[in-house]
Amino acid sequence: MSPRRHLALPLAAVILVGLPVFWAFPEDLAFWRSVAIVCGWLGWGLLLVSLLLMIRESWLAEWMGGLERMYRWHHRSGTLAYLVLLLHPLALSVDAWSEAPSLAWPALSPLRNSLAVQLGWASLLAMMLGLALAFSRALAYDKWRWLHLSLAAAVVLAILHLVYLGLDDWLLWVPAAAIALMLWRFLRSDSGQAAHPYVVTRVDHPAHALIEVSLRPLATAITARPGQFVLAAFADAPSWKGFGEYHPFSLSRIGKDGEIAMGIKALGDCTTRLQHVQCGFAARVQGPFGAFLADAGATPGLWVAGGIGITPFLALLRARPLTQPTRLIYLYRESADAAYIGELNEIAAGQDSLSLVALATGASDPDIERLIPDPSGLAGCDCYLCGPPGLLDSVIGILAARGVAASRIHFERFDFR
């Protein structure tokens, strides 16, 4: 990752957190009251960081080091904001206690305070509920996604808390920025204003429960490179109910005429229904996102793909011949799941630099240690991994144990929860 991409996110975080804390930093106040004020504005700064990092714009993701990194820090900054904001009422209570112990509970209790304080409590409780749901793995994605909106309600309540406290000076930019970021996300991403219109031109079935959908642009095409993914939504068609929500799909082909293709594996309700998509159906595409494989091919490579994780590697192999020796380990469960295996064999046969190891693992865990080269074979290699989380964790552990530096292990987890 370039220094610019590496530094942009922490720099934006420092600015968004530092500005409100600096402006509101208390002087001549009791210690615990100062702590409460600093915690309040620190929490607000972290909330702004979290809101900024939920924006899905390809140029922003490019600046911030990728959408996956943005989402990882969106989770971290949101949780940290909540933890810091928990200290805000407690510090006010300690401040009241230092004046008189009998004032501690009245200062904290929402039942004995003004509407402003009650709104603050409501915001904190909505945040508590929203985060508890956000951390839930048991919820189906569509339910999880809607319940995640309770966190937006928490931000609105926090804004009302500030307004009813009487905040109406320069610091109003903080709630104004929060509203702007939420509107940006809703209008540009969720309602699809940032999306490009496409039409389905071809549907292939390269493996069991897997389709490859080719899309032609109806207006401006996205400019993507191999290894990237897009967020796509498919509109309703006669006799077929589409999906208005956007899901991530890796690109498997990038045509010169703007046509793109993506592999869609039936993994959930939406992707199962998408197996029946047909030519002529309308789609909307946001992106592209991701920097996976951006530097691939410059050095000898070890590529490890699990199942549908073969898609980004296929996109690169379809785009250009390899110039450096590369070993591609392709793992799938059964031979019926071996998507694109015929095409991959053909490409490997035509390129001396590509060595393909394709293996059906069956129901048992594959013996990955045996497949990974020994330390001498990994010297100077850049390792690219794409597949299920369990496979990634195993391979990363083996590579680290064999002396591969973390900077030479590249992967994207595609976990947007």
Applying CB under 8 A, which residues contact other proteins?
A: 26-29, 33, 75-76, 79-80, 82-83, 86, 90, 93, 95-97, 101-109, 113-114, 116-117, 128, 131-132, 135, 163-169
Contacts for 60-66 with beta carbons within 8 Å, 24 or more apart?
61/289, 61/290, 62/5, 62/291, 63/4, 63/5, 63/8, 64/5, 64/8, 64/9, 64/12, 65/1, 65/5, 65/6, 65/8, 65/9, 65/291, 66/5, 66/289, 66/290, 66/291, 66/412
Provide, rounded to whole angstroms, the least separation between the CB of residue 47 and other proteins. 15
CB of 229 to other proteins, least distance (A): 24
- How many other CB atoms are found less than 10 A from the CB of residue 142? 13
Structure tokens at 376: 């001498």
- Nearer residue to other proteins within complex by CB, 29 or 149: 29
Shortest distance (Å) from residue 304 CB to other proteins: 25
Choose between 96 and 344: whose C-beta lies nearer to other proteins: 96
What is the edge-to-edge ordering of all strands in the sheet holding 354-360? 354-360, 326-332, 301-306, 382-386, 409-411
- b/e per residue 33-60 (b: at least 16 CB within 10 A): bbbbbbbbbbbbbbbbbbbbbbbbbbeb
CB of 140 to other proteins, least distance (A): 19
Radius of gyration for the chain, computed over Cα atoms and rounded to the nearest angstrom = 25
Q: By C-beta, is 111 or 219 nearer to other proteins? A: 111
Q: Residue 80 or residue 203: which is nearer to other proteins going by CB?
A: 80
CB of 18 to other proteins, least distance (A): 20
Count CB-CB contacts under 10 A for residue 140. 9
36 in Cβ contact with 95 (< 8 Å): yes
Peptide bond before 288: cis, by omega within 30 degrees of 0? yes
> Whose Cβ is closer to other proteins: residue 174's or residue 291's?
174
- Closer Cβ to other proteins, 160 or 199, answer by number: 160
- Nearest distance in Å: CB 27, other proteins: 6
- Min dist CB 23 to other proteins, Å, is 12
- Smaller CB distance to other proteins: residue 79 or 324? 79
CB of residue 76 to other proteins, shortest distance in Å: 6
Residues 6+ apart with CB under 8 A from 225: 254, 288, 293, 294, 319
Of the candidates 224, 276, 220, 274, the one whose C-alpha atom is nearest the C-alpha of residue 252 is 224
Residue nearer to other proteins on the CB measure, 241 or 417: 417
Identify any residues that bridge with 228 across adjacent strands, giving them in sequence order. none
